[in-house]
Structure 1
Amino acid sequence: MNIKKINNSDEDIKKLQTIAKQTFTETFGSQNTAEDLAKFLNEEYDFNKLKSEVADPESFYYFCYFNDELAGYLKLNIGSAQTESDYPEALEIQRIYVLQKYQGQKIGLSMMQHAIAVAKKIKKSQVWLGVWEKNLKAQAFYRKSGFEKVGSHDFILGDDIQTDYILVKEL
């Protein structure tokens, strides 16, 4: 397993855009309308938006490789880059995705450990994330990793307002 910070090169942004769209579709495509999914993918994973996020000094994107193949990616946020302002002294795990064909290889666990190591390195006392209320597999993974539910917030997927649970892990 190899985790590497994503560069703001056009090549890395295109790879990020491809894996982001693929992993999101694999994870949530069957549970949402094609219209909502398409709108979300086009807005959230727009090339210029991703390029701007990768350039943001308060966001950290990483690729995860398994046997030298791109298997997943991770997005972490601090400060004003966080999707919620309730945790100013925490690190947010905004995205942690593994391609379906690599699931079960402990890639998510490696990325989680990486995120926690980053949080400790930059002296954060908490890590938090949002997880869809219907994503039971991810919720179980986060519980095993020591996260506890502390609230919820709205997540907009296309035109559909969904509920994400907010989970926090004390470090």
Structure 2
Amino acid sequence: MKLRSATPADAAALARLGRDAFCASFAHLYRDEDLQAFLAAAHSPEKVAAEIADPAMAIVLAVADEGALLGYCKLVLACGWPEHARAQPVVEIKQFYTQPHATGRGIGAAMMDWTLADAQRQGAKEIQLSVWSENHGGQRFYARYGFIKIADIHFIVGEQRDEEFLFAKLL
């Protein structure tokens, strides 16, 4: 496995993985029409291509030796929840995803190491992320890296409001 930055040629594969990973973990929570609208807005190749082109976002890919996409992480070089920031500047991790069949193989650890190092290279003093309140495995993973819960927040998919936790780590 190797890590590399996303390029425009990765947009379709990145959108597909985003959809697959989100659905594997969360599709059962939503009405189909809400889920489909969310996926179209958040995980379309066009949306992902715009994010790849955005200089305020860094996207790292975990790629298998044969070229298959194993995971990705988006680092937004801005704060998603400024009212909860404890240090400036603060950045945000978005969509920290791996292939549903590839968890437990060190992919997440490699991407987190890269993301934390990149945040520090960017001069960040704090890094934030949101995690579903019932995603206990994700919460344990982030806690291993020194993230702590700092607030209760919400995530909206269609008509459903999910309870989420805002986790953060001072760098």
- Output the TM-score relative to the length of structure 2: 0.90
Structure 2: which 5+ runs fail to align? none
**What does the per-residue CA deviation read over 1:125-164, in whole Å, with 9 as the maximum and x for residues that have no partner?**
1111000111111011111111000002221112211122
C-alpha distance in 2 between matches for 1:152 and 1:55 = 31
Partner of 2:40: 42
Give aligned-pair identity as a percent: 27
Residue 81 (structure 2) aligned to one of 80, 84, 106: 84
Kindly report which structure 2 residues correspond to 1:1-171, keeping only aligned pairs within 5 A, or say none: 1-8=1-8, 11-68=9-66, 69-79=68-78, 82-86=79-83, 87=85, 89-171=89-171
1:110-132 Cα offsets, whole Å, 9 max, x none, are 11111101011112111110001
1:93 CA displacement: 0.7
Distance 1:160 1:3 in 2: 35
CA–CA distance in 1 between the matches of 2:133 and 2:155? Answer: 10
Instruction: Please give the alpha-carbon distance, in whole angstroms, between the structure 1 residues aligned to 2:35 and 2:135.
Output: 16
Please tell me whether the aligned partners of residues 38 and 158 of structure 1 are also in contact (alpha carbons under 8 angstroms). no
Q: CA RMSD in A?
A: 1.5
Provide Cα deviations, 1:61-89, integer angstroms capped at 9, x if missing partner: 1211134321111101013xx43334451
Does the CA-based 8 Å contact 1:6-1:54 persist in structure 2? yes
How far 1:32 sits from its partner (Å)? 2.7
Deviation of residue 30 (structure 1)?
2.4
Residue pair 1:148, 1:169 contacting (<8 A) in 2 also: yes
- Which secondary structure does the structure 1 equivalent of 2:162 belong to? strand
Where does the alignment leave 5 or more consecutive residues of structure 1 unmatched?
none
What TM-score results when the alignment is normalised by the length of structure 1? 0.90
User: Would the aligned equivalents of 2:20 and 2:100 in 1 still touch at CA under 8 Å?
Assistant: no
- Mean Cα displacement is larger for which, 106-115 or 44-53? 44-53
